[in-house]
Structure 1
Amino acid sequence: MEEIEVPSHFLCPISLQLMRDPVTVSSGITYDRESIERWLFSCKSNTCPVTKQSLSDSTDLIPNHALRRLIQAWCTLNVSHGIERIPTPKQPLDRTQITKLLDQAKKSPQKHPQCLQKLRSIAYLSQRNRKCLEDAGAVEFLASIINKNEASTVEADEALCLLYLLEISEASRKKLASNNIEFVESLMNVLNCGNYQSRAYSVMLMKSILEVANPSQLTGVRAELFNGVVHVLNDKISHQATKAALKLLGEVCPWGRNRIKAVEAGAVSALVELLLETVERRYSELILVVLDQLCRCAEGRAELLKHGAGLAVVSKKILRVSHVGTDRAVRILSGISRFSGSPRVVQEMLQVGVVSKLCLVLQVETSGKTKERTNEMLKLHSRVWKNSACIPPHLLSSYPN
């Protein structure tokens, strides 16, 4: 087949593919709608890819009808070469359409299921549609459905799914965290009482909201949140939900008495069990980061020591995960040896291989602070550890004097 040369002005500057729905941005450059929307919304950029000029309104995409007709005419002329004619694109979603749909649903609660179904189909089409839904007030509408006790489980679950799907902006998340305490309470109720799917969406939404919350809100987190998060960890609902739960704990534990609340909810035992099972680097790092936070209080250290595999699994992760993982594991063990180093604990650290692992740390390349903590531990308990038969002879040479 004869090769057809496509006119350069028919191609999208981003993808170099034939434009199907050409639109012009405020910088004057024309792009294919799908490509420029992916650039603006998925890549979260507000500049023109060609001119690098800041775009005043990322949603103001003006259809270039003249160019579209030229492309369609060119396709028709070259149909014998296997070129398909590009259909006339549908009119993009307008904010007023969504506003009208939401207003109707607000006035007639019986229309909620139908409205939620339409919102879902709209949201799945494109990132632009999801942004348009947020701008039209869909976030507040969905939050109100979740807040209402009389809402059916099906409706609340659908609203949760949609709210997560929207990938709402930081501004909307801050608004929910600051002005909608009822919504945060509702998420906590779902975390503790919902089905697997709704709990997964709830923990992921809660994580994204607390990431932008102010310190006073983080300090005042209720114990129910930690109970729900620990249940998510124990039930292993999904990788996504587990990762969100770990990040959420990492976000809130440094504030106020949250460490103790998390420990009382059973977080330490849940984290040790996860650490025993996981081989994935990122999961191990997240777990060790949270364990390090919890072991900075006496209650957390006591719970780690209470678990039969606590010391052993933390020690096992040293030099097997990453520099971050090694650093956090050494910090956990350092806190144990300094503040909870009873004769029984010191002996257990020797028996489960902690001391051998610490000697090995001194032989390999690790951060200065990690080696410093390791040295301090080995010197602190040298009377018990240094001459023990539990330490392999080739590692004894590393033992600090």
Structure 2
Amino acid sequence: MDEIEIPHYFLCPISLQIMKDPVTAVTGITYDRESIERWLKTPAAAAAAAVCPVTKQPLPRAASDLTPNHMLRRLIQAWCVVNADSGVDRIPTPKSPVRRSLILKLVRDVSRINSVSLNGVALKKLEEIADEGEKNQKLMAEAGVAKAMVSFIVRCFKDVRNVGIDTALRILHLTWGPTSSEAKKIMVGENLDFVESLIWVLTIDAENTGLNTQALSVLKNVIEVANYSLIEGLNTEFFEKMVEFLRMNISPAATRAAIQILTETCKLGRSKTKIVEAGAVFELVEMELRNPPEKRTTELVFCLLAHLCSFADGRQQLLRHAGGVAVVAKRLLRVSAATDDLALCVLESIARYSGTAAVVTEMMRVGGVSKMCMVLQTDCAGYLKKKASGILRLHSNAWSNSPCLQVYLLTRCPR
């Protein structure tokens, strides 16, 4: 293809590549749509009035002001066909941009009551539009698609009808990110019905990994923007269901979402108590013992453990598990700096507030004390060394008299 002379007017002035979707700006210059739209979104263009890259004249930012150059596109496609034997790939005809009016019509169709078939057709079309890329997802978010999906899911919950639920959840997941923070808060607010709807979805089919993972991901997004009154209204059954998904471990994404939901809700004291009563600490320890998860999941596990061990009931549940302290000690210096920090937070809470003679001995026996001494010896961040040193000082008398520690390690940790 390097030997073929490409007509200069086939090339985009920005990318200098053959245009796949030529569009003409109001200045009369034709560009490839992807290139000019990217140009209009650059920080330089956003900071001041956008200008045409060629003529330097003012240029509207709206994509609707770019006119498709169909004649040039057909010429390029014909040229590509003629030169196909020389290695030139044919350029497909680009899809027309999705119109806001179409999305609004589909939203109205989804919102129609007692029209299951119409709802299904509209949902499928919205899913296809969302799958075409971020641009469509942003347009859908601006048209209120996320709000329509929330209403549809709640309606299915109240009517005990699960047709279209999986599609609605996927559309909501795809359009959630581009939706404004204010719109999210208005949608969720104190909408306990929506949370209950998602919990209901999780009970539909325990074997449907995709559906449950999608529902948990959406629930995580909802909890992140929920207000305190909604979180306070969550009952014990909610937390038991989240802990159950930790136990089931249906997929790494679902497990991470469940942990993040518990972490977000445990910021309230009442919720923290309910989470502990649901057996979360025990399940987190079991997760690490059964099959150590990937790095990111372990970091989330220890983040939740650090929160739960910051009060008495959480520490008590960790100490009741025969492998609780051992798991924390084992993960120290083995996963990441973030995990090290969180593990030290757990050990500090135990040593400072639950440091009975039996607990202090247990920390020594399972290698927790040795690991903290190793933190002082390895190339760790200064704040980690300071934290480990502080913990060791709490019970230095008991630990320094033990034959389990080597003398040269103790000399690095003065009392």
Q: TM-score, normalised by structure 1?
A: 0.85
The question of whether the paired residues in 1 share the 8 Å contact of 2:188 and 2:226 is answered with: yes
- What is the deviation of 1:353? 0.8
For 1:130, give the aligned amino acid.
Q
For 2:327, give the aligned amino acid.
V
Alignment partner for residue 160 of structure 1, among 169, 172, 180? 169
**Which is worse superposed, 335-344 or 85-94?**
85-94
Give the Cα separation in 2 of the matches to 1:246 and 1:28.
54
Give the Cα separation in 1 of the matches to 2:272 and 2:319.
16
Decide whether aligned partners of structure 1 residues 383 and 30 sit closer, same or farther in structure 2, where only a CA change above 3 A counts: farther
Alignment partner for residue 266 of structure 2, among 244, 249, 253? 253
1:20 aligns with 20
**Which is worse superposed, 378-387 or 74-83?**
74-83
1:110 aligns with 116
2:280 aligns with 267
Matched, 1:327 2:341: yes
For 2:130, give the aligned amino acid.
A
Structure 1: gaps of 5 or more residues: 41-45
**Which is worse superposed, 114-123 or 201-210?**
114-123
1:122 aligns with 129
1:231 aligns with 244
The question of whether the paired residues in 2 share the 8 Å contact of 1:14 and 1:49 is answered with: no
2:198 aligns with 187
The question of whether the paired residues in 1 share the 8 Å contact of 2:107 and 2:145 is answered with: yes
Decide whether aligned partners of structure 1 residues 275 and 16 sit closer, same or farther in structure 2, where only a CA change above 3 A counts: farther
2:55 aligns with none
- What is the deviation of 1:311? 0.3
Give the Cα separation in 1 of the matches to 2:216 and 2:373.
40
- What is the deviation of 1:283? 1.9
Give the Cα separation in 2 of the matches to 1:167 and 1:28.
37
- What is the deviation of 1:298? 0.6
Q: Residue 3 of structure 1 aligns to a residue in which SS?
A: coil
The question of whether the paired residues in 2 share the 8 Å contact of 1:173 and 1:208 is answered with: no
- What is the deviation of 1:202? 1.6
Alignment partner for residue 243 of structure 1, among 246, 256, 272? 256
Give the Cα separation in 2 of the matches to 1:8 and 1:293.
63
Q: 1:2-401 to 2 correspondence within 5 Å?
A: 3-7=3-7, 10-12=10-12, 17-23=17-23, 31-33=31-33, 47-48=41-42, 51=45, 56-57=61-62, 61-72=66-77, 74-75=79-80, 78=83, 81-83=86-88, 85-107=90-112, 108-111=114-117, 112-148=119-155, 149-171=158-180, 172-178=183-189, 180-191=191-202, 194-195=205-206, 196-218=209-231, 220-276=233-289, 277-278=291-292, 280-401=294-415
For 2:159, give the aligned amino acid.
E
1:81-133 Cα shifts (integer Å, max 9, x gaps) = 34355454343322222332333443352322233233323332333333333
Structure 2: gaps of 5 or more residues: 51-59
2:54 aligns with none
Give the Cα separation in 2 of the matches to 1:99 and 1:366.
55
The question of whether the paired residues in 2 share the 8 Å contact of 1:26 and 1:56 is answered with: no
Q: Residue 19 of structure 2 aligns to a residue in which SS?
A: coil
The question of whether the paired residues in 1 share the 8 Å contact of 2:400 and 2:410 is answered with: yes
Provide the aligned C-alpha RMSD in A: 3.2
The question of whether the paired residues in 2 share the 8 Å contact of 1:311 and 1:352 is answered with: yes
For 1:319, give the aligned amino acid.
L
1:123-182 Cα shifts (integer Å, max 9, x gaps) = 323333333333334323322221122252232233223322334424243332227442
The question of whether the paired residues in 2 share the 8 Å contact of 1:176 and 1:183 is answered with: no
Give the Cα separation in 2 of the matches to 1:262 and 1:26.
59
Decide whether aligned partners of structure 1 residues 310 and 178 sit closer, same or farther in structure 2, where only a CA change above 3 A counts: same
**Which is worse superposed, 325-334 or 215-224?**
215-224
The question of whether the paired residues in 2 share the 8 Å contact of 1:292 and 1:331 is answered with: yes
How many percent of aligned residue pairs carry the same amino acid?
A: 43
2:57 aligns with none
For 2:140, give the aligned amino acid.
L
For 1:189, give the aligned amino acid.
W
The question of whether the paired residues in 2 share the 8 Å contact of 1:386 and 1:399 is answered with: no
**Which is worse superposed, 193-202 or 5-14?**
5-14
For 1:135, give the aligned amino acid.
E
For 1:71, give the aligned amino acid.
I
Give the Cα separation in 2 of the matches to 1:283 and 1:30.
49
Give the Cα separation in 1 of the matches to 2:44 and 2:12.
11
- What is the deviation of 1:193? 5.5
2:56 aligns with none
Decide whether aligned partners of structure 1 residues 375 and 87 sit closer, same or farther in structure 2, where only a CA change above 3 A counts: closer
The question of whether the paired residues in 1 share the 8 Å contact of 2:110 and 2:123 is answered with: no
For 1:22, give the aligned amino acid.
P
**Which is worse superposed, 346-355 or 192-201?**
192-201
For 1:360, give the aligned amino acid.
M
Q: Residue 94 of structure 2 aligns to a residue in which SS?
A: coil
The question of whether the paired residues in 2 share the 8 Å contact of 1:200 and 1:232 is answered with: no
For 1:159, give the aligned amino acid.
A
Give the Cα separation in 2 of the matches to 1:232 and 1:75.
54
